[in-house]
Amino acid sequence: MDESPKREHPNDPLHGVTLQTVVEFMVERHGWHGLAREMPVRCFMFDPSIKSSLFFLRKNLWAREKLENWYVGEIRKREGHGL
């Protein structure tokens, strides 16, 4: 019998954050041009939209991970400066 508490997401900054929230935050903070500069993919470069970005990021794990890591860095920076 296992009596230890279950810890499914200790210290996970993405826990409870949707991919749409991540994309919207990054667009608000950096704009589509900023996203395209950092991640030169079609969904950010040509006729960008939240919908096309979500479709692409859900199909391409490498891109999703890169954007999520960038987002986590932004959140940590913001929290560290007390903004």
Domain boundaries, the chain: 19-80
Cα–Cα distance for residue pair 79/74, rounded to 1 Å: 9
For the chain, give the mean pLDDT.
88
Q: What is the CATH number of domain 19-80?
A: 1.10.720.30
The better pLDDT of the pair 44, 11 is held by 44
pLDDT band per the 50, 70, 90 thresholds, residue 6? very low
Cα–Cα distance for residue pair 68/62, rounded to 1 Å: 10
The predicted-structure confidence for 14-58, as pLDDT tens digits, reads as follows 999 999 999 999 999 999 999 999 999 999 999 999 999 999 999
Q: What is the pTM of this model?
A: 0.81
pLDDT at residue 78 in the model? 83
Residue 9 has pLDDT above 80, yes or no: no
pLDDT at residue 2 in the model? 44
